[in-house]
Structure 1
Amino acid sequence: MAETFLALLDEVLYGVVQISTTLLEFFGIAVLMATALKCFYFWLKKNTQNIRLDLAQGIALALEFKMGGEVLRTVVVREWAELGILGAIIVLRAMLTFLIHWEIKNEKKEG
């Protein structure tokens, strides 16, 4: 009976993580698309004063959502190979986020 209960809990956890990961990745995509459309609109209107800064901040926020999804995904990893791939993805996204935040900081200094 205990094994059946643990198996059920494992399935519930897996389902919750899958749904949460998908939602976080969807939020990241939504933030990126909304930011890109807003910046494109401002570019068409020739209002390019802070367009690079706005775009960089939107990309950084979208990456944070995507990275949150990857971190959640590590909860249900079953094999070391999967964990290695997820670790590499997290490191790459963290590096991108760091570089974008560095770019934002420099853009704010210039502006």
Structure 2
Amino acid sequence: MDVHALLVLIIPVISAIIELIGVLIIIYGVVRSLFFFLLSRGNLMASDPKLDLAKALAYSLEFKLAAEILKTVVIQTLDEFVILAAIVVLRVILTFVIHWEIENSEKSKLVNRIDEMKK
């Protein structure tokens, strides 16, 4: 059996496992964020639950992106490549937006703490 044939058999299984890890991270992040949201008595302005969820989503997207990159090894047609490239681009954009949101939330959290210390 040649290496390419072996990769065609193994890569879909490995990428499915990596994507499952990403899904589990999302579920964990949602449950954790919901727990903190309930602890804050449903305060929609509390940044900790939102920040927690954003971090989980960003981390999950890294796993999903890794799975997509692995799938590039077994692409056989141009149509598959275009679809995979579109998925990768969308996930990269989502990752950048989520990281930007995390940075802004952390900065505003830090500014709020500094303001509280000044008072």
TM-score computed with the length of structure 1 as normaliser? 0.89
- What is the match of residue 25 of structure 1? 19
Which ranges of 4 or more aligned residues in structure 1 deviate by more than 6 Å? none
RMSD of equivalent CA atoms = 1.3
TM-score computed with the length of structure 2 as normaliser? 0.83
Give the drift of 1:49. Answer: 4.8
The gaps in structure 1 that reach 5 residues or longer are none
Identity of aligned residues (%): 35
- What is the match of residue 96 of structure 1? 94
Query: Distance between the aligned counterparts of 2:31 and 2:97, measured in 1?
Result: 22
Provide Cα deviations, 1:29-86, integer angstroms capped at 9, x if missing partner.
Answer: 0000001001111111227451111110000011111111111101000001100110
| Matched residues, number | 105
Provide Cα deviations, 1:11-42, integer angstroms capped at 9, x if missing partner.
Answer: 32112211110011000000000010011111
1:60 alignment partner, one of 48, 58, 61? 58
Query: Distance between the aligned counterparts of 2:22 and 2:84, measured in 1?
Result: 17
2:36 touches 2:48 (CA, 8 Å); kept in 1? no
The gaps in structure 2 that reach 5 residues or longer are 110-119
Query: Distance between the aligned counterparts of 2:107 and 2:40, measured in 1?
Result: 22
